[in-house]
Every structure is written in C-alpha cells, then in structure tokens.
Amino acid sequence: MKNVLIPTKLDKVAKQILGERGFSITQDADTPLAELIKAHGDTGALIVRSEPVTAEIIDALPNLRVIIRAGAGYDTIDTKYARRKGIDVMNTPGANANAVAEEVLAMVLAHYRHVIDADKTTRAGKWEKKKYMGRELAGKTLGIVGLGNIGLLVAQRASGFDMRRLGFDPVISARKAEDAGVTLSSLETIFRESDVVTLHVPETDETRGMVNRGLLSLMKEGATLVNCARSGIINEDDLRAARKEKKLGFCNDVYAEDEPGAKSVADIADVMLPHLGANTYEANTNAARRAAEQLVAYVERGVNKYVVNRGVPEGLDEIFQQLAFQVAAMARHYLGTDKSVRRIECSFYGGLEPYAKWLLPPILAGISSGFDPLGDPQEAEDYLAQKGITFDVRPADEKKGYGRSITVDLMEGKDPIRQVSVRGTIAEGNIVISRIDDFHKLYFQLSGHNLIVVYKDRPGVLARVTGACAAENINIEDMRAPHNRGTTKSLALVKTNLPVPAKVVERLAQEVSPEAIFALSIA
C-alpha cells in the first residue's frame, strides 16, 4: 500500500510528507491517467483532485486499497464500485473552504465594481468612468444557502463588509448560526430580501434545480446570484428568464463538465471562472498536507476517520441502514425540510443499539441531503458538532416488543419547540413505517412515491386528495387513513405510481389546510 500515485498538480508537501515516512511516490500531472496506470499497476494508494476515478481505473489497479480526494467533493469517484472492491475512499473536508469563501466575495466585488469590463476598456485606451458606476457591499443583505464549512466562512468574511447576513440550512442549530452572525431564514425570505444570494449546497436529487422560477421570481430587481457549488442546482432556463425580467446579476464558477468548450451560461453570466474555487496555493497546500497526513495515519495506525464509502460492521444487515434512512427522511419531511433541527433522539430496538454509531450516518442523510449515508461514523459526529445539533440514544425498552426497529425523534430549534416522532421496522423483509407520532400500527411501505397529509378530521378531505391525484393522471397504489380520536387528527398515507408534483401539494395545502403535507419519493 506504500506505492502512491498522484496524477495531479498537488503541492509538493504531500510528496515530502509521504517520502519521509517511507512511501514510494509517483507524481505526474502531465501524463494521461490511463498511461500512468499502465506503468504503475502496483499502486496501493491514489491521491487525486478533480480527476475522475472510474470502475475501469479501479479494475486496472489490482493492489489499490485507498483513494484520497484532496478536497471535499468526491462525486468524480465511483465510491460504490470502490466499496464493492474493498477500497476505502477518503476526502479532506474543509481544506478548500476558505478559498471558495474568498472567491465568492471576489466575484461579487468584481461584478459590483465592473472590474473585468473596466479593465478591458482602460487597457484599450478608453476612459469610461461614468459608464462603470458601481455599488458597495456595506449595508447590503447577503443570503447564504447552505451553512457548512464554506457557507459559515462566507458569513464570517462578509462581516467585514458590514453586510446583514441571512442563512438557510435545515440542519444547523439556531445557536450555531447566531454565533456566526447569521439569521436563519426560509429560502423564500432569503431570495426575497437579499441583495446577493450565494449557493453552498451539494447537488442531489433534492437540490437539483431547486433554484427555479419560483425562487428567482422573488428576487429584488438588480439582485445578484452566485454559484460556486454545483451547476445543477440552478434551472438555467428559469434564470435566463428571470435575469431578463429583473436584470439579475449572475456570478458562476461551476459547470456540468470541467473541460474546455462552450458553456451554457455564457449568455447570462456577468462573471464566469473555470472552477477556480479551490484553486489557490494555500488551498492546494492544505489539501495536499491533509491527504498525505490522512494516508500516513490510515496505513500506519489504521485511522479511517474520513472514509466516505464505509461499509457495515459484521452483524449488521445493510437493510437496517436503509431503515434508518427512511425513518429519518419521513421524520424530516414531517417536521418540515425548511425547519431547523435542534436535537435528534433515537431508540434502537431488537439488538440494534450496539450499532447506533453505524446507523447515525444514514439517519443524517435522511435529515440532510448534504450528508452521505455511507459516511464514516466519526464524520457524522463531526457534522453534528459543526451544525450545533445534539444527538442522544435513549435506552431501548425491549419489553415493548417492537422487534428490530428504530425510532427517530426530531426537535425543531425555535420556541415553542415542535417535536415529531417516527418508528420503522422490518416486516417480511420489507422496510415499513410502523408509527408516526400518535398514529400506530401503520406498517406502510415507504419505498416508491408517496403523498402524506396530516389534517383535522372532517368529511371530504380524502376525496380531495384522491381527486387531486386523479386530475394529474396519478394512480393510487396503496392508501392508509387512520384517525386519532384523542387529537381529532387524521393521517393519509398515499402511495402513487408517479411522483406527486409540487403544484398538487400546493393545491391541497390551500384546499385542505393540513397540519402537514408533503410528497416523498424513496428509491
């Protein structure tokens, strides 16, 4: 495992650290990766930046045992295939965070003060001072979507410009945001009140296209949108229309592919860079140092803290990780994906309690799309600490006879505190939701497409729900409609053959006035 291949322009500190520990290092950023692999088939460790690591590359390195991404995002690595081949994949989260945070402000300043265009015309001998009247950041409102390492650093850096800071992150605690000088707000509030909106969320099924016509239509005339996260978060056609209507500014550093060629946002971006977010000497040095130190710790001491494609320990069936994810996802949507989670409490029945730390990553993945369900338990604990969320495992009362089941309770971070509780179990090999708050014995299979409605019991509500689905040619495959006499609440669990679109959810929200309504699709 001490034969290391670094096919990228990584700071020399990595080679220096590894060399001092007796590793054999080949670092070559100029030779094509395919040729390097052929010449170094004995590679045991691979350190990359943005280079794709495919199944073919993994198969071509029979001695490979660990891949380290010198950076945070690892979507260029086939982590699942690596797991099947017994290969650990690690990242170095936070190493590039400051570089990206500073880039956000650099791009906004360049846009506000016409730095790029004014430089060009002045070099050409023109003097267009009147044309380039600029704006100042002081006194403006900055909206930060995603308060992870980068988002929190953006907030900290923006404080020096005397900016009001709003933030959206459904997982971070209100106290953690307050400590960073950020006021937690809804997405709608951020897009409505901010002069500058900056995006710092991963691209997932939940976030893909989230910045669409609905949010863009709320923005102030002349406001600016910054994307240094992932290109798929924005619906480009909707931005194109909103920009024309509201004269929005747009600064962009991310694209569908990191490669030369025409870019689809060239006609709408005021400032566009070739994915330079982490491209600083300092970030490169930080990532290189972290990658090398993690590899040394991994090889010499077995430290696997940052493994992102962790498997399951002996004795734990993978289906219980899936159960943990689904129960948490149901609880998260029931609480509200725009709500701030302050506390998570779980109970693990039927001998699952010893595996609590291994079930934490999928629970976090169900609560926040920003966390990988195959993440390392230590990384999950670090993530909770970063977000300021308390996590407790309650002693399981096995006398209740719940079998091998998991209960997830979520508490919102505002007063009055709101709490939701969901339990799930395995029935005949299938994952089922057995309880939602005071609705017991549900045994509803959540996989597939679902519509969930909690409402004050009265005649006609179910007819409206089924009618709204029928109007969109959506067929109902299963339905449970229990009633709680003690609270006068009813619950509709509706399984459909197609995803229930947002317009149906919005229509029913107006017609039924439910306590909670949401669509949830589980693969």
CATH number at residue 466: 3.30.70.260
The arithmetic mean of pLDDT across residues 25-49, rounded, is 93
What integer pLDDT is reported at residue 415 of this predicted model?
A: 58
The arithmetic mean of pLDDT across residues 170-174, rounded, is 83
Contact criterion met (CB below 8 Å) for 142 and 196: yes
* 260/229 same-domain check: yes
The reply to whether 307 falls in a domain is: no
CA dist 402 and 306 (Å) reads: 34
The reply to whether 17 falls in a domain is: yes
- By CB neighbour count within 10 A (0-12 exposed, 13-18 middle, 19+ buried), where does 331 fall? buried
The reply to whether 312 falls in a domain is: no
The reply to whether 370 falls in a domain is: yes
Using alpha carbons, list the distances in angstroms from residue 80 to 89, 281, 373, 422, 488. 10, 31, 12, 29, 46
If DSSP codes are grouped into helix, strand and coil, which group holds residue 178?
Answer: helix
The reply to whether 308 falls in a domain is: no
What integer pLDDT is reported at residue 204 of this predicted model?
A: 80
* 264/333 same-domain check: no
* 295/261 same-domain check: no
Contacts with 495 (C-beta within 8 Å, 6 or more apart), sequence order: 444, 445, 448, 449, 450, 476, 477, 478, 479
What integer pLDDT is reported at residue 56 of this predicted model?
A: 95
Q: Please report the DSSP string for 343-357 in residue order.
A: EEEEEE-TT-GGGHH
Give per-residue pLDDT as tens, 58-94: 999 999 999 999 988 788 899 889 988 889 999 998 8
* 40/150 same-domain check: no
Cβ atoms < 10 Å from Cβ of 253: 23
* 450/503 same-domain check: yes
What integer pLDDT is reported at residue 67 of this predicted model?
A: 97
| pLDDT at residue 416 is higher than 60 | no
Enter the pTM of the model.
Answer: 0.73
Domain that holds residue 62: 3-95+282-301
Contact criterion met (CB below 8 Å) for 407 and 346: yes
* 204/347 same-domain check: no
* 109/227 same-domain check: yes
The reply to whether 309 falls in a domain is: no
* 218/248 same-domain check: yes
* 87/101 same-domain check: no
* DSSP character at residue 157: H
| pLDDT at residue 417 is higher than 80 | no
pLDDT bracket for residue 335 (50, 70, 90): very high
CA dist 70 and 490 (Å) reads: 50
CA dist 99 and 279 (Å) reads: 7
The arithmetic mean of pLDDT across residues 96-125, rounded, is 96
| pLDDT at residue 185 is higher than 60 | yes
Query: Minimum mean pLDDT among 95-99, 156-160, 374-378, 417-421: which range?
Result: 374-378
* 118/214 same-domain check: yes
Q: How many helices (H) and strands (E) does the chain have?
A: 17, 22
Number of structural domains found in the chain: 3
The arithmetic mean of pLDDT across residues 437-446, rounded, is 92
Give per-residue pLDDT as tens, 300-332: 988 888 888 876 677 788 889 899 999 999 999
Give per-residue pLDDT as tens, 140-154: 999 999 998 899 999
What integer pLDDT is reported at residue 175 of this predicted model?
A: 83
* 189/330 same-domain check: no
The arithmetic mean of pLDDT across residues 468-491, rounded, is 90
What integer pLDDT is reported at residue 371 of this predicted model?
A: 77
Q: Please report the DSSP string for 429-494 in residue order.
A: TEEEEEEETTB----B--SEEEEEEEEE--TTHHHHHHHHHHHTTPPEEEEE--EETTTTEEEEEE
* Greatest Cα-to-Cα distance within the chain, rounded to the nearest angstrom: 85
Contact criterion met (CB below 8 Å) for 504 and 311: no
Contact criterion met (CB below 8 Å) for 253 and 273: yes
- Residues, the chain: 523
What integer pLDDT is reported at residue 318 of this predicted model?
A: 81
Nearest to 363 by CA among 304, 422, 428, 412: 422
The reply to whether 394 falls in a domain is: yes
What integer pLDDT is reported at residue 386 of this predicted model?
A: 86
Backbone angles phi, psi at 393, to 5 degrees: -105, 115
The reply to whether 277 falls in a domain is: no
| pLDDT at residue 516 is higher than 80 | yes
pLDDT bracket for residue 486 (50, 70, 90): confident
Contact criterion met (CB below 8 Å) for 496 and 477: yes
| pLDDT at residue 254 is higher than 90 | yes
Contacts with 470 (C-beta within 8 Å, 6 or more apart), sequence order: none
* 379/479 same-domain check: yes
What integer pLDDT is reported at residue 242 of this predicted model?
A: 96
Contacts with 217 (C-beta within 8 Å, 6 or more apart), sequence order: 242
Instruction: Output the domain CATH number for residue 70.
Output: 3.40.50.720
* DSSP character at residue 261: S
